[in-house]
Amino acid sequence: MPIRVRLPAILRDLPGARATVELAGPFASVSDALDALWLEVPTVRDRVLTETGDVREHVQLFVGYESIRFTGGLATAVPENTEITIVPAVSGG
Amino acid sequence: MPTVRDLQVRKGQVLVMAGTSKGVFLFAAGPKRDRWQRGGPHFAGSPAYALAHDESRGHRLFAGVENPFYGTTIRWSDDLGRTWSDETSSTLKFPEDTGVSLKRIWQIVPAANGSNGTIYAGVEPSALFVSRDRGATWELVRGLFDHPHREKWTPGNGGQCLHTVLPHPANASQIMVAMSTGGVYRSEDGGRTWRPRNAGVRVDFMPDKYPEFGQCVHKVVRHPSRPETLFMQNHGGLYRSDDNGDTWQDIAKGVPSDFGFCMAIHPHDPDVVYIVPLESGLFRAVPEGKMRVYRTRNGGKSWEALSKGLPQQDANEVVLRDALCVDQLDPAGVYFGTRSGKVYASADGGASWSLVADGLPPVLCVRAAVIGDPAKIRVPHARGARAKAAPAKKAAAPRRTKATSKAGTKHKPARKSGRGR
């Protein structure tokens, strides 16, 4: 079953990027789903992950409504027919 | 180290405190608020995100001071800023069993008048402390720290901060806090239990746009004469609540941006609120390069730009969440500081502005205090202020709530004034 990845507005201007990217699943984890996303939209990868493969500090990833910060990080399971949302984390002052 | 300039503040003057990234600067002027003398910097080199003035037993100034090497401490002065307590007197720290350490003090707030020395401090990581002895000792408010939501409050760029504390002016058991991120929480039992109060407040940065909690609230204000009414500057969105935070309604009509950090309420009129809109997104500066404070005089139905005396070209200014405040005089003084190191003052409720200081380190917070009884201080007639004044408006009588009825406390009505709105 496919899953959808929603990209934030700030990344949609990158070559190949768009608001929603549909990926053919299944995926065992968020990490696996992102690997498929990078194949589809390679320009997004370095904006979301650091050189060491960690999610950038001010980027948040949600599976459904749950932030992966609280569900196992990149190892979080990805249910079928779900949506992964990438959002810039808030920054206050 | 820079020479610390001494400032003698006299009765009848207004004291403006500016916390910067490199210390605290003080400014004093007479009630006309047109000629300012400068003092400081105190704690030179140390950021100060929180300042407060308590007059429950004589004047005491508070400062949250972050020494980059030796940590964050709360300091006070009983002589209007000439001398301050030393680091060793600060007892504001997390208990060992919490497993966290104090990073920053974001807010210092005396409880309502007559609270007999109760002071609250909002800190990072998000937590609330209370002192019952005017700052000498502090206790972590465990009810909030142990809240099951806590593990899901997440830090923004400014950190995981509890930046707003609103003790109820008539009911000592009721406290409201706001944090970024986390949202608004309210306790009705003196801090033992807390419930989120964010219904109607939008979250643009999460898949669920209206969650129970997790909002990035930037500032909430209330007027003591109408405590059930609250105004909120959210991370995207301006809101008003008329039921003490139970529900919120969008009031962002007529502003160039609904993003901003700071918010202040007029000292004598509960319908007058000030904000400084900023461009959202990454730029985070005043729109169009115009330094404008926006004011509503009707509780958020409409907003007007206040720009007289402020730069209207190439002003890429940012005003942070606690860098806007008012004094208690009539006409009210309004003050703000910018990240570019400027402090502006208005002695006529925002109608016109003048520069108090330039060239300061980035301004993090601004607080104003009237030394003496504001009602007894005669403000010299400011030219043009009366002619442009709004008609006198009587503040609505405070609604009696269950909580206030139980407390049996009478609200002091807002002062009637037509000047300088």
CB contact under 8 A, A60 and B205: yes
Q: pLDDT tens digits for B119-134?
A: 999 999 999 999 999 9
User: In what side-by-side order are the strands of the sheet with B226-234?
Assistant: B217-223, B226-234, B238-241, B249-250
Kindly state the average pLDDT of the residues B395-409. 37
- Contact in structure between A52 and A22 (CB atoms under 8 Å): no
- Strands B363-370 and A59-63, sheet pairing: unpaired
Identify the residue whose tokens are 């984390």: A89
Backbone angles phi, psi at B223, to 5 degrees: -105, 135
Q: Considering chain B, what percentage of its residues have pLDDT values greater than 90?
A: 79
Give B420's pLDDT tier (boundaries 50, 70, 90).
very low
Range picked from B155-159, B226-230, B380-384 for highest mean pLDDT: B226-230
- Contact in structure between B288 and B313 (CB atoms under 8 Å): no
Give A14-20 contacts, CB < 8 A, sequence gap 24+: A14/A41, A14/A43, A14/A44, A14/A47, A15/A43, A16/A40, A16/A41, A16/A42, A16/A43, A17/A41, A17/A43, A17/A44
Q: Is B205 on the interface with A (CB under 8 A)?
A: yes
CB contact under 8 A, A92 and B318: no
Cα–Cα distance, B184 to B194 (Å, whole number): 10
- Contact in structure between B234 and B163 (CB atoms under 8 Å): no
* pLDDT of residue B395 exceeding 80: no
What is the predicted pLDDT for the residue at B119? 96
Lowest mean pLDDT across A70-74, B22-26, B125-129, B395-399:
B395-399
- Contact in structure between B227 and B395 (CB atoms under 8 Å): no
Of A64, A69, A89, the CB nearest to B205: A89
Q: Which residues of A touch B155 (CB under 8 A)?
A: 89
How close is the nearest chain A Cα to the Cα of B283, in Å? 12
> CA–CA distance from B317 to each of B357, B377, B393, B411 (Å)?
15, 33, 33, 38
Of B157, B206, B208, the CB nearest to A91: B157
- Work out the mean pLDDT of chain B and round it to a whole number: 90
Of A64, A70, A90, the CB nearest to B156: A90
Q: pLDDT tens digits for B186-197?
A: 999 999 999 999
Identify the residue whose tokens are 């309604």: B249
pTM confidence score = 0.87
Q: pLDDT tens digits for B38-76?
A: 999 999 999 999 999 999 889 999 999 998 888 999 999
Which chain A residues have any C-beta within 8 angstroms of a chain B C-beta? 6, 10, 58, 60, 62, 64-65, 67, 69-70, 83, 85, 87-93
Give B116's pLDDT tier (boundaries 50, 70, 90).
confident
Of B152, B218, B318, the CB nearest to A70: B152
Q: pLDDT tens digits for B132-148?
A: 999 999 999 999 999 99
Tell me which residue of B122, B138, B134 sits closest to B78, measured CA to CA: B134
Kindly state the average pLDDT of the residues B396-411. 36
How close is the nearest chain A Cα to the Cα of B217, in Å? 9
DSSP symbols for B41-73: EETTTS-EEEEEEE-BTB-EEEEEEEETTTEEE
CB contact under 8 A, A93 and B154: no
- Contact in structure between B216 and B235 (CB atoms under 8 Å): yes
Q: Is B158 on the interface with A (CB under 8 A)?
A: yes
